[in-house]
Amino acid sequence: MKIGILGSGQVGQVLAKAFLNEGYEVMLGTRNTEKPEVVKFKSENMAIQTGNFDQTAKFGELLVLATGGTVTEEVIKLAGPVNFSGKIVIDTTNPIAKEPPVNGVLKYFTSLNDSLMERIQQWLPDAKLVKAFNSVGNGLMYKPGFKGGPPTMFICGNDEEAKKKVTGILRSFGWEAEDMGKAEAARAIEPLCMLWCIPGFLRSERTHAFKLLKK
């Protein structure tokens, strides 16, 4: 299966390498394939293709959105909304505002009765969005290897088959998935990033992940 990763930042790069390692064909998308970070990534990962957002969205049978929250709408326009139609789209984004954190607490440009994922679903009504990977640092996204077993990735989305597919991907990446329901659940999942980041801002601790305990 071909994976198109929209976003050349840390998340895009980590997930591109992870999918390649799992045997997928991967293209990493950017506005500019000549930018030094992308050229360096390409030289270190020759088996991963790079392309502009439009080429990457066309290439991918499954797409990953790994773009800053404030620029995601712009990236979708550059990628061409039609190229998302009918495809599973893993949404890793968070609606982080431009203002700095307060006492280690990030500011969001959404409210508690709204989420970036729901906005993206409105921009891409025919895409099968699944929220995932937003509530953990990129260094732990692939095979995190905790002694206590696989951590929990909270996911949501309107398409049941898409969530099953992403659950399988998460399992192969060393995670267990917990399905929180439809897109509105992103109102609860996106703020988990705020919680995850607090120890990082306050104490430079970034080696944790969430786990749901059940009786």
Please say which residue, 143 or 161, places its beta carbon nearer to ligand NAP: 143
If one counts every other C-beta atom within 10 angstroms of the C-beta of residue 107, the result is: 13
Q: Which residues on adjacent β-strands are paired with residue 52?
A: 30
d(CA 170, CA 132): 9
Which residue is nearest to ligand NAP, using beta carbons? 9
| From 49, 83, 92, 115, residue interacting with ligand NAP (rule: CB under 6 A) | 92
96 binds ligand NAP (CB under 6 A): yes
How many chain residues bind ligand NAP (CB under 6 A)? 24
d(CA 157, CA 92): 12
Q: Collect all residues with Cβ–Cβ distance below 8 Å to 102 and sequence separation of at least 6.
A: none
Candidate ranges 16-24, 117-125, 133-141, 169-177; the one touching ligand NAP (CB under 6 A): 133-141
Give the helix ranges, DSSP H, for 72-214.
72-79, 116-123, 160-172, 186-189, 192-203
97 binds ligand NAP (CB under 6 A): no
162 binds ligand NAP (CB under 6 A): no
Residues that bind ligand NAP (CB under 6 A): 7-12, 30-32, 66-69, 71, 74-75, 92-94, 96, 133-134, 137-138
